[in-house]
A and B are shown apart, each in its own frame.
Chain A
Amino acid sequence: MISKDQSPLNIMLADDDEDDRNFFNDAMKELKIKNNLTVFKDGKDLMDYLNAPDTVLPHILFLDLNMPCKTGNECLKEIRSNPKFKEISIAIYSTSSSEKDIEETFIDGANIYIKKPNDFSKLKKVLKEVVNLNWQFHTSGLNKDTFFFSI
């Protein structure tokens, strides 16, 4: 790691697919930026964790749209209706590439929208880019309210 005096980026992921979770883990390990990753296998576990008192909140949270029990969208709305989670950047990833869906997702409060590419290595590249970009915003004090990124 290059900069010793930087606190690590806390990243969270909610995804019901085990392969996706493992894969995400690999991608985060390759990041130059120091980070801690916590994964959840569904939306309910995620929300329980976030709502618990004294939880260390993530800087950035990745949500898969398609999850059983509690969907990514439901989580998104619930998180955005709670001011306690105002500072968390939320990245949604989904297979949909419809502009309407993308716009809706941003309107509902997401900061980042990722169209899941078919290629694993492309996805890895995208994930790293997203985390990097989010970190740039974080360290340069830029406005989270108008932080949108679609890829």
Chain B
Amino acid sequence: MRLYIKYDINQACRVILQEQLEKLDINYQLLDLGEIEFKENISQETYDSLQEGLSRYGIELLDNQKSQLIQRIKDTIVEMVYEKDKLPTSTISSYLADKLNLSYGYISNIFSENTFTSIENYIIMQKIERAKKLIIEDGLTLTEVSYKLNYSSVAHLSGQFKKTTGLTPSMFKRIVDKRRGITSEK
């Protein structure tokens, strides 16, 4: 015997969400369009459990929350890179974990999953980006740049610059100058 069914996906999802949220004792409100508002902050553990519970049903927590977190991580990193006294060389993980009030492991995983790169790589990318600005816009020497960005030496800066871009800082500067039609050599 064959039965035909009709189902309301939205209703099914809503009920599943409610059940999962209540199971974890989360104080929440279900808004329209598949948005959940958490009435209070939930721990990473609870978040993970919720995610796990929902994944059985093929329900994924919206990326919005993730995207926001990613953006906060990026913003924190940029802030770190652009203010020298905030550039810790060995405690980046604890700096980020403290600032964002989440475990570094969690931050790191979410970041990598969503940006296809690691936090470490991202930091380097931002540092080199700033190095470029300092070289081109501020006309700083490599020594000055390496000091500003907390590199242990010019060699270290050049090395990372070359590794990241494939060019040495001086080649970089030459190219930009020629592109802009500036002919004076430093």
Do residues B175 and A103 form an inter-chain contact, with CB atoms below 8 A?
A: yes
Prevailing SS type, chain B contact patch = helix
Asked whether B178 is an interface residue with its Cβ less than 8 Å from the other chain, the reply is: yes
Quick check: is B7 within 8 A (CB to CB) of the other chain?
no
B165 touches A150 (CB 8 A): yes
Find chain A residues with CB under 8 A from B175 CB.
103, 106-107, 148
Shortest beta-carbon distance, B121 to chain A, in Å? 8
Interface flag for A98 (CB, 8 Å): no
The residue from B63, B126, B167, B174 contacting A5, defined by CB atoms under 8 A apart: B63
Judged by a CB distance under 8 angstroms, whether B39 is at the interface is no
Shortest Cβ distance from residue A151 to the other chain B in the assembled complex, whole angstroms: 5
Contact B179 A150 (CB under 8 A): no
Closest-CB distance, A73 to chain B (whole angstroms)? 16
The complex places the Cα of A151 from the Cα of B67 at a distance, in Å, of: 31
Report the bound CA distance from A146 to B178 in whole Å.
Answer: 12
Number of interface residues, chain A, beta carbon within 8 A: 24
Q: Please state if A2 and B113 are interface contacts (CB–CB under 8 Å).
A: yes
Out of B116, B166, B176, name the residue touching A151 (CB < 8 Å). Answer: B166
User: How near does chain B come to A30, taking the closest CB pair, in angstroms?
Assistant: 13
1/0 per residue, CB under 8 A from A, across B96-128: the answer is 000000000000000001111100001001100
Tell yes or no: A71 within 8 A of B by CB: no
Which residues on the A side are within 8 Å of B116 (C-beta)? Answer: 32-33, 132, 135-136
Find chain B residues with CB under 8 A from A109 CB: 179
Chain B contact residue count (CB 8 A cutoff): 26
A113 interface hit (Cβ, 8 Å): yes
B136 at the interface (CB under 8 A from A): yes
Whether B136 and A146, one on each chain, are in contact in the complex, defined by CB atoms closer than 8 angstroms, is yes
Contact flags A95-107 to B (C-beta < 8 A → 1, else 0): 0000100010011
Q: Flag if B114 contacts A3 (CB, 8 Å).
A: yes
Is residue A125 within 8 Å, beta carbon to beta carbon, of the partner chain?
no
A4 proximity list for chain B (CB < 8 A): 63
A96 to chain B, nearest CB (A): 14
Which of these, B125, B165, B174, contacts A103 with CB under 8 Å? B174
B148 interface contact, C-beta 8 A: no
Given contacts A33-B116, A103-B171, 5 further A-B contacts (CB under 8 A): A136-B117, A136-B122, A142-B125, A143-B133, A149-B166
Task: Provide 12 A-B residue pairs closer than 8 Å at the C-beta atoms, listed in order of the A residue.
Answer: A3-B63, A99-B171, A107-B179, A136-B125, A139-B115, A140-B122, A140-B126, A143-B132, A143-B133, A149-B165, A150-B165, A150-B166
